[in-house]
Structure 1
Amino acid sequence: MSGPAPAPAGLRRSHVLYVHFDHTGAAGPGRHDALLALLTDITPVVQALPPDAALADVRGALRYFGRDAVDLARLVRLRALALYGTDCTVGVAANPLLARMAAQAGEPGRVREVRPEDAAGFLDRRPVAALHGVGPATARALCAYGLDSVGRLAAAPPATLQRILGAAAGRRLHERARGIDPAPVTPTAPPRSAGAEHRFERDELDTGRRRGALLTLADELGFRLRAEGQVARALTLTVRYADRTATTRTRRLPEPTAHTPGLTAAAYALHDALGLQRARVRGLALRAEELTAAELASHQLSFDVREEKARRAEAAADRARRRFGAAAVRPAGSDPPKAA
């Protein structure tokens, strides 16, 4: 059975921390930012993973503090408990993949290290669903072929995985099963947002017209995000009424996305949950929240041929818009946007 590929000499030691802060959701983003500051006091290379986790590369801090990565992880836990009453679960390894899996495999409120020389044994008996990037659908497909552990996945011929999952996904998953993760820890700026608004010519009572406007807004946001290489982790809907009051609701997305159908489904769910059958609606606004670079976001692998076709059609529509203008292609059922 093949194990992880040997790391370059300079990387044969643990230097990546995956830190999961316990019980930060109720405290809001301000608490998460304060906890992230504990990591930036140790290293500037910190990648926020909202709402309650972060990655940190402490290579440059090892000599400065005169401690190894495990000692620095314990220091983060101690400071989080002392200053904020928040415990942490920390995984320590030579790359983000192994650090994340180490944290998820250990007991909450502990520090667990997977050393490079122990990576093969750690991964060998782990269930395939424990591998980062393998969701329920992918796990079922792999288990149907007897690939129910990470060790068996690593031992499978790459060509077999490519036939099951597709070329790119199969190659990527084979590397992860061997403990290979070339992705660096990338310092992230505070999450940004992007918004779009639609105002009706008259107070709108018709649910179908409102959903048409939401489709237009979601399509506009999706096009902008894809053009900028961004994805959203959450979506906020603001409904403005004839009496000048407003209602705002936010929903986290199942996964970070800039895909118009995903944004539209979330917008419809937010709208329908408000029960606006008799409301006189003056305008609608959608805001994509917690934007992050698309290449940094993880996505569930899909075997749905219809979804692949939809994404190819979306890419073709984007090319047409860039060439002929944003109004060149619009989804069926959408309303032309009005000036805010």
Structure 2
Amino acid sequence: MGFKRVVVTGGAGFIGANYVHYALEAHPDWQIVVLDKLTYAGNLENLQPVMNRIEFIQGDIANPQDARQALRGADAVLNFAAESHVDRSLIDASAFVRTNVEGTLVLLEAARQEGVKRFLQVSTDEVYGDLSGSDHHSLETDPFRPRSPYAASKAGAEHLVFAHGISHGLDVVVTRGSNTYGPYQYPEKIIPLFITNALEDRPLPLYGDGSAVRDYMHAQDHASGIDLVLHRGLSGEAYNLGAREQISGVQVADAILEILGKPPTLKRFVADRPGHDYRYSVDPSRAEALGWVRRHSFFGGGLRETVQWYVQNQAWWQQVRAKKEHQGLMQTWYGQR
């Protein structure tokens, strides 16, 4: 499936920016349009090395005019735009419903009206819910059991995507990615939070006993999986993207402290968050059958490369951490713990 003009919503965010960098290398003939609202997690510095190769539009996917402007003449749209932090959704879920649900609906309508050939929705493994107490790996056919406002909003968005495929004949595909790490990740998520805290000799806050397990996938592998599904995925289908790695919060903290030569006493166990899911794991066989191959292993170099990126780009994350918005979240969420 060939494309010429591709819209990446949320392309100034973490996974979106990594995809833009990947796509420019893999498809140098593409015209890439990035639509991003530039909320707290959107950062034009993430795209600075490639700004001369893309068209950037600052806008909101929940605004019909912005959506129509960005999608005009586009062959495909990849919707990365989302509020994505579980902790924030527990504090206030309204922004998650507006962007993740209403925004997806507006974007779908714009795609239909503008005659977009393919719509790819970037979703999450969190729609499946907690797998703790079992050795099951979520399949694309498993029922949804979201347990946080964030996960519920992403599940709702998926229902709208598939409904547009059935009701209006829109060519849609969905990817459900596991926890992702790598360059440009906003330092509220566990891995960049732990790296930046350790670099400043601050505590690494672990929920409960730190045993919650995630399937950590490198952002470049996530980008390549999304791109493969865009080109080869069957219309109306979902594809799990995971690294087949089961890693606990304690293991993440220990590995980061070891890489940076910091003492284990920086680990700090804090009160658990409400409704905490203690295990996610997906079976990515369907994507692998399309030809998806991962290039990074968490303990085989992926984490070390990521730590080095944050070491070498301290100005990037220190600017983020200096913002009152970020400091307020850290105090509100972790200070009471």
Please give the range of the TM-score, normalised by the shorter of the 2 chains: under 0.3
Larger strand share, 1 or 2:
1
| Rg comparison, structure with higher value | 1
